Amino acid sequence: MLAKGLTRFIRYTNMQNSPCPDWATALLNGFSQIFLQRHPLCGLLCLLAILFSAPALFGWALLGGVAGLLTAQRRDYPKADRQAGLFSYNGILLGLLAGLVLPWSVLLPPLIIAGGGLSAMLTQQWLKRTRDPRCLPAYTAPFVGLGWLLLSFAAPQPSLMSAELTLANLLAGCLTGLGQVMFLGHPLAGALITAGLLVANRRAAGWALFGSAAGVAFAWCIRNTQRRCPDWAVITRRWWRWPSVNSAANPGCCWPESCWQSCSRRGLPPSVWRHSPRRSSSLAGWCRPRRERGGRS
């Protein structure tokens, strides 16, 4: 009798709160959603990139991601969205940024927890109003807004030492561009992130590498054509490439299938448009005409 009553109580609790079936998968998906993917192995490689290249930021990234996930669970946000990592990635980025630009103090952990929870609430409010495929997806808008607010209290970053233009530095700069999406200025981080993108979505990996290389090329052209220009070390190690990485990775992930089919009618080869992006691969599923967010895997 006692066992039967306990079973009923557990079922009632699960119906009321409906926790994530696998919090580890949800958290890893949050790391992969930084690059518009939903793949636990990709998220694990992103996590290893932080651990190997910037271990001091590892705990802050986990703290921000867990804060966002627990906030979403406590407020009973949709289970499918929680499992997809949609409420974790903004908190992860805020934790990385706060740990990078702010000195240690007793206020830093609660600040990251508050930022992760607030970003989850902002993401949910945005998602509620953008279910229509024609609406603008949330992406990292909560992180951008809260990040700018956070940077207003940060001290200026120190300048970099000069570096020579060599092939090794050029290749390292392309890889570092991917790492700088998560504020990781080390080629190893970029290599691990590239491996994760290759596992999750080879198209997105190719576009991300292309965007990073394009950012280096444009910065080098500016350096040669203008008097007041960045040093080569700034070009290869600073934040010249990560906007181009995100801008280039987005078309590889979230162009609607109809766009690829329209390309075929304009004479583009089938190898370009035939392999349309999978709906289950990225956060950008809201860009597509048919919404299958609940069944993404």
DSSP symbol at 276? P
* DSSP state for residue 251 in the 8-state scheme: H
User: Does 12 have pLDDT greater than 60?
Assistant: no
Single-letter amino acid, residue 222:
I
152-185: b (≥16 Cβ within 10 Å) or e: eeeeeeeebeebeeeeebbebbbbbbbbbbbbbb
Q: Cα separation of 41 and 48, whole Å?
A: 10
What residues does each domain of the chain span?
18-151, 167-254
Beta-carbon contacts of 125 under 8 Å, excluding residues fewer than 6 positions away, are none
- Global pTM value: 0.72
Give pLDDT, residue 199: 95
* Stretch among 3-7, 25-29, 102-106, 186-190 having the lowest mean pLDDT: 3-7
Asked if the model's pLDDT at residue 34 lies above 60, the reply is yes
131 or 278, which is more confident?
A: 131
Residue whose token pair is 């699960």:
14
Mean pLDDT of 253-271: 42
Burial of 272 (0-12, 13-18, 19+ CB in 10 A): exposed
Structure tokens at 279: 């709906």
Q: Report the CATH superfamily, name and number, of domain 18-151.
A: Ammonium transporter AmtB like domains (1.10.3430.10)
